A and B are shown apart, each in its own frame.
Chain A
């Protein structure tokens, strides 16, 4: 095999190059310092030049180059200190500024020139203006991006404490004024930016990623120019408006480089004071609209908005001055207009960014103009317009734009914590419609939670209507719902929330309350219907019944019809959906119980319902169930109310007895005697109940028959736990009767004739009680 040199990785290679270079630097710096100690300036300059020649390299990555640069400029400081010292002692080196320019290579030459130039400036300020001009101009000679950037960074570093910062004057001022500093830094900035941008276009396109990373590492060098400008105290608002900002923006826009534009705009926002931003919004935002397609304009604008929003809060705290600015500047209008034009101009702006901009606008409006709800609505409207123009409907909830939209819609809620305020936004609901089903649902739940948490009371019908329209995703329009993904628990929870919310709809004014509930009703019905569709039978059954009960209590127009509708829905549910016999019994009991309580039905409605109940009861699968069902139904005819009875109990004794007789018949058909006896006892209780209530169809005879019958059957029962229980139940019943008979007050006579079986047990019990 041919021998190949050992492969070394690029990282190791970099380390090696850097190490070698640093070695040279160390050696030359050592000699330089020795020469300076011996006052041999020429020798020292030669060493410095040799040291600086290391910066001519093209082998190093930006990172390594930076390390090398730092090492070298550190050493150069010795030279500078020495020269300043010498100059101050009056030992001037003639033509030093010229002397260093004999260096044949431009990179070391310019570093030396800057170093010496700085010494001249420090020791003789009358040269300052011209020297600064000269240095920044001469640096043009280095067009290599990396080397140029660092060279100019050195220039910037060296001059940081000597930039003239005096206000402009009319007289010629060789020491320079702030204008000279601005020109100086702006020029350096423009040149550095050009170099930085140029890096993007060097080398192979496959290295683009690397290049961009390297550029990121270097961006601070460019940004330092802006920092320097911001540190000039004589840069007043006027100067900023007239020369600083236009200079920066001109360069930023014209460089046509997305990375640079994004970073620099961000920089401008960060380094200059808010007092300046607030007065220069238009030019700044105008420039934002002119940036490259790849620039994340959203972030820039948002960061500005956030800063100014925060600023406005601070200035509020400070007093009237900041407020005046806010009024004068019309922050919101300016942003709103500029954001619209940015959105209009930048076709490539992703929709989520457009929405995010609206989010920022809303935040701004909320912070700066908390009482201007029309601003919020304006944003909502423009968002709707944007989405419509883009033809974006039913945004899928996982998409970024939908997420942004969610955010946008939640902000007013989070801020006001009042659904009522949100309802004042005319375009809120319209905007919400751009979400898909899941999105709307999630938002609706969010709204509900918010309203419940803050106990928002919805006081008028109109608002209730709006609120419920807003939330209608939860109740209707399930067409969009993905089939088969329904989570029952989730659904129940949602509906529960909704139900709780309905309680928030209330008013002190009865009229209003009535109207509110009218609108609420529709939604109840829709809600329950929705649940039915969800094949969850029992819950909706209960809800229907409760709905009917509630409606019964509320005397609104045609509530009877509505209640009837609810009841019949309950029945059809019972018939169609409930198949388990136990559940059926429970359901029928519920229905009966509800019906019994409802008083709003006219005869023509209540009769069929009662009959229906009785019929349903008698059709239950198991005999005992039938029996119990029918017995329960009997109460409908007694204590049930209707319009016919004017809300009084019906007291239809005949029907009651029919029901109970039917119960007896059914009980007799039971094969199991213990069950039979139990049913008899239960029926006896029903009878006794009606007897006591004064049903003239129930007489002593019937009771006696039944008691006798039970007594007979009970004797035949084999003793068991069950039998024990039944006999206990029976004797309790008898004890009750006996108590009644012996009761001193009331209608003792009615009970006369009831033959309580001379069962010792009962007697003894009684005696014990007496004793």
Chain B
């Protein structure tokens, strides 16, 4: 209230079962994290609104009190326009006067919450309850954010990703990821098999890249963020070498893949296999993976189970197959028999300085420096990447970054 005149009130929202309800960490716009009460799609959101008057004894005049349940998408470059995909209103009080602390129960039953909360580089999706005491001059408003997670069931189709890529006469590899769809606490298990190595490789890493696309048409913005960099090989392999991959996803800040959320934005994830040679040239291949959220209850943190080892041994078929079929001949012959199905992308040495392993810190939970993901420069060359149709995964064909 202005200059201390008149009555003022404090609004407090109590959500039913908030003491026991699970919470989730959600990032705010400025990068901080807060813990919010967690709701799922179709769950009732109910509770009480407590309004306390600041000056006991004097009355508060109002034009009515309402509570809204809002789900909205905010574009950072278009602050004025919020896209509300859900907006539910409950009237708590008709216009009148309030003379004492008052408590109003409310309930939004079985609310549809189709999307997950998300805070990205250019876009934010949030759910909140808004209590408004309508007044003539200035409304008294209180907003309470809640977290929403969307749970999925096991995908019916979950093929492995298996592909042979290379640069003619230079580098041929076959890689395999055990699945194309991973839940957020999943483990990526895979294997890289080297068919031909004519470059001096220094190391190899797997990066998890989050690509956020906002807007549409000419106003499309794409932001690539490297969520994790995970070194999977140190040194130079030779032909015939098979390198295991095992990446635990639980430790990274990931969200489920979001496609075309309310026609406003998408968040997709890619596994980027990067090889770096001794002259700091990078060769990489991106593969989209689909992330999904599994109900937490299903996760059994059973450290006694051999599942922690996430059997890389099971993937040995590739290697064995090669060892059996490949005649013991020179590299040339081997490569001619193994047609390159896809090209690596080779980035010029000077264009990726922000991304080099030797300089950039790895995303390492034991290392404080890398708690926030590095932002990838827009020129991270995925141009000229061709994909062969029909290898089973996703349908995003030729991609352009810009």
- Residues of chain A having any CB pair with chain B under 8 Å: 45-46, 49-50, 56, 92, 94-99, 101-107, 109, 124, 127, 130-131, 133-134, 137-138, 140-145, 147-148, 194, 198
| Cα(A137)–Cα(B191), bound, Å | 11
| A137 lies within 8 A of B244 (CB) | yes
| A145 lies within 8 A of B235 (CB) | yes
Beyond the given pairs A105-B362, A137-B313, A143-B234, 17 more chain A to chain B contacts, judged by CB atoms under 8 angstroms and listed by A's residue number, are A49-B364, A101-B246, A102-B248, A102-B364, A105-B231, A106-B232, A106-B234, A107-B234, A131-B309, A137-B312, A138-B244, A138-B246, A141-B244, A143-B243, A147-B235, A148-B234, A148-B235
Would you call B366 an interface residue if the criterion is a C-beta within 8 Å of the partner chain's C-beta atoms?
yes
| B235 lies within 8 A of A50 (CB) | no
A737 to chain B, nearest CB (A): 112
A221 to chain B, nearest CB (A): 16
Partner pick for A140 among B203, B238, B243, B362, CB 8 A cutoff: B243
Would you call B230 an interface residue if the criterion is a C-beta within 8 Å of the partner chain's C-beta atoms?
yes
Smallest CB gap from A135: residue in B: B309
| A97 lies within 8 A of B238 (CB) | no
Residue from A92, A103, A105, A148 with most neighbouring chain B CB atoms (10 Å): A105
- A interface footprint on B302-332 (CB within 8 Å = 1, 0 otherwise): 0110101101110000000000000000000
| B303 lies within 8 A of A94 (CB) | yes
Smallest CB gap from B187: residue in A: A98
| Cα(A97)–Cα(B304), bound, Å | 10
Task: Find residues 187-240 in chain B having any chain A CB closer than 8 Å to their own CB.
Answer: 203, 228-238
| Cα(A532)–Cα(B363), bound, Å | 96
Partner pick for A141 among B233, B238, B362, CB 8 A cutoff: B233
| B233 lies within 8 A of A106 (CB) | yes
A760 to chain B, nearest CB (A): 121
| Cα(A714)–Cα(B319), bound, Å | 124
| B235 lies within 8 A of A143 (CB) | yes
Smallest CB gap from A56: residue in B: B234
| B233 lies within 8 A of A103 (CB) | no
| B251 lies within 8 A of A127 (CB) | no
| A98 lies within 8 A of B364 (CB) | no
Interface range for B: 35 or more
Smallest CB gap from A109: residue in B: B231
- A interface footprint on B4-38 (CB within 8 Å = 1, 0 otherwise): 00000000000000000000000000000000000
Contacts of A147 in B (CB 8 A): 234-235
Q: Given A97-B303, A98-B248, A143-B237, are A133 and B313 neighbors across the interface (CB < 8 Å)?
A: yes
| Cα(A749)–Cα(B370), bound, Å | 145
| Cα(A422)–Cα(B301), bound, Å | 80
| B232 lies within 8 A of A102 (CB) | no
Would you call B241 an interface residue if the criterion is a C-beta within 8 Å of the partner chain's C-beta atoms?
yes
Contacts of B362 in A (CB 8 A): 104-105
| A144 lies within 8 A of B234 (CB) | yes
Contacts of A145 in B (CB 8 A): 235
Contacts of A131 in B (CB 8 A): 309
Contacts of A103 in B (CB 8 A): 364-366
Would you call B367 an interface residue if the criterion is a C-beta within 8 Å of the partner chain's C-beta atoms?
yes
Q: Given A102-B251, A141-B244, are A49 and B367 neighbors across the interface (CB < 8 Å)?
A: yes
| B236 lies within 8 A of A50 (CB) | no
| B301 lies within 8 A of A95 (CB) | yes
B182 to chain A, nearest CB (A): 15
B329 to chain A, nearest CB (A): 14
| Cα(A542)–Cα(B364), bound, Å | 101
Task: Find residues 335-384 in chain B having any chain A CB closer than 8 Å to their own CB.
Answer: 361-367, 370
Partner pick for B367 among A46, A124, A134, CB 8 A cutoff: A46
| Cα(A134)–Cα(B304), bound, Å | 15
| Cα(A98)–Cα(B362), bound, Å | 18
| Cα(A105)–Cα(B228), bound, Å | 11
Contacts of A46 in B (CB 8 A): 366-367
| Cα(A769)–Cα(B235), bound, Å | 118
Q: Can you give 26 contacting A-B residue pairs, CB < 8 Å?
A: A45-B366, A49-B366, A97-B309, A98-B250, A98-B303, A98-B308, A102-B364, A102-B365, A104-B228, A104-B370, A105-B231, A105-B234, A105-B364, A127-B304, A127-B306, A133-B309, A137-B312, A140-B242, A141-B233, A141-B244, A142-B235, A143-B235, A143-B236, A143-B243, A147-B234, A194-B238
Contacts of A98 in B (CB 8 A): 248, 250, 303, 308
Q: Given A98-B308, A127-B306, are A142 and B234 neighbors across the interface (CB < 8 Å)?
A: yes
A136 to chain B, nearest CB (A): 10
Contacts of B230 in A (CB 8 A): 104
A308 to chain B, nearest CB (A): 34
Contacts of A97 in B (CB 8 A): 303, 308-309
| B244 lies within 8 A of A140 (CB) | yes
B117 to chain A, nearest CB (A): 24
Contacts of B365 in A (CB 8 A): 99, 102-103
| B309 lies within 8 A of A104 (CB) | no
Partner pick for B232 among A56, A92, A141, A194, CB 8 A cutoff: A141
Contacts of B246 in A (CB 8 A): 101, 138
Q: Given A101-B248, A106-B232, A147-B234, are A95 and B308 neighbors across the interface (CB < 8 Å)?
A: yes
| A50 lies within 8 A of B366 (CB) | yes
Smallest CB gap from B305: residue in A: A127
Contacts of B363 in A (CB 8 A): 104
B76 to chain A, nearest CB (A): 30
Task: Find residues 281-311 in chain B having any chain A CB closer than 8 Å to their own CB.
Answer: 301, 303-304, 306, 308-309, 311
| Cα(A127)–Cα(B367), bound, Å | 29
| Cα(A124)–Cα(B165), bound, Å | 42
| Cα(A644)–Cα(B257), bound, Å | 135
Contacts of A194 in B (CB 8 A): 238
Contacts of B234 in A (CB 8 A): 56, 105-107, 141-144, 147-148
Contacts of B308 in A (CB 8 A): 95, 97-98
| Cα(A140)–Cα(B244), bound, Å | 7
B244 to chain A, nearest CB (A): 6
Contacts of B361 in A (CB 8 A): 104
Residue from A104, A127, A144 with most neighbouring chain B CB atoms (10 Å): A104
Contacts of A99 in B (CB 8 A): 365
A225 to chain B, nearest CB (A): 19
| A124 lies within 8 A of B366 (CB) | no
| Cα(A96)–Cα(B370), bound, Å | 21
Contacts of B203 in A (CB 8 A): 106
Contacts of B301 in A (CB 8 A): 94-95
Contacts of B370 in A (CB 8 A): 104
Task: Find residues 247-283 in chain B having any chain A CB closer than 8 Å to their own CB.
Answer: 248, 250-251
| Cα(A131)–Cα(B303), bound, Å | 12
Contacts of A134 in B (CB 8 A): 309, 311-313
